Amino acid sequence: MDVSPAFKEAAEDYFTLLNKQYPERASLALVGDRYRLSKDERMILFRGITSRDRAISRKAKRSPFPKLPELYIDGYNVLFTLLNYRIGKLLFIGNDGFLRDAGGSHGRLTHADMFLELADEFFDHLVTLGFRRVQVYLDSPVSHSAFHAERIRNLLWGKGLEGDCTLGNSADYLLKRSSPPCIASSDTAIIDALPGPFFDAARSYLEKRYGATFLDLSEWFQ
């Protein structure tokens, strides 16, 4: 997707309002209406731009090349990002340095076979990076989550990885209470709540596997 010529100016205005502590949704409506942004462009602003202080804090927690052999994964957050890329949805890098998509799945899974194919390839990628133990957390309210947990568990063990795939009502909650040494997630609630480090595993996989490039808002707001 190519953004409109006015998008960068709109992003700068939205960033300024957030830095002045104006409410996010009111600021989004004001800027979006003023510049006549599309639905996707508004979602990029909402999911991709945060205040300067928050962006700095999150960037400090990001580890591009983690040396730890153990990774805890916010499963659907990462795997849905991979799936959204494969089915052609818009992905971008927020001004905090993390890869995100322009719209969530809201607990609905499409392209089930592709989802599991991507999971298989993704865990291969983690093996090549040197991870030896992988703990995956899945949100149980997502459709077919018990089946996904079983398949992912078998994929991990089949690749010689230690670890497990655990179901819970909230993957956020499970991650927050487990004090993981390294986390794969772009969920802002998790990033803001935990000290990290965070590994953007979805971005790492997509850049390596597909040579993917993304609109990078972090280059606009240093």
Domain tally, the chain: 2
192 pLDDT more than 90: yes
Cα 144 to chain centroid distance, Å, stands at 21
Residue 107 clears pLDDT 60, i.e. is over it: no
- pTM of the full predicted structure? 0.93
Per-residue pLDDT band for 178 (boundaries 50, 70, 90) equals confident
- Is the C-alpha dihedral spanning 131, 47, 120, 162 positive or negative? positive
| Domain with 130 in it | 59-219
Strand arrangement, sheet containing 215-216: 99-101, 91-93, 215-216
Output the average pLDDT for the chain: 93
* Average confidence (pLDDT) over 141-156: 95
Q: Are residues 41 and 119 in the same domain?
A: no
- At 54-80, the pLDDT tens digits run 999 999 999 988 888 999 999 999 999
Residue 1, in any domain of the structure: no
CATH of the domain at 168: 3.40.50
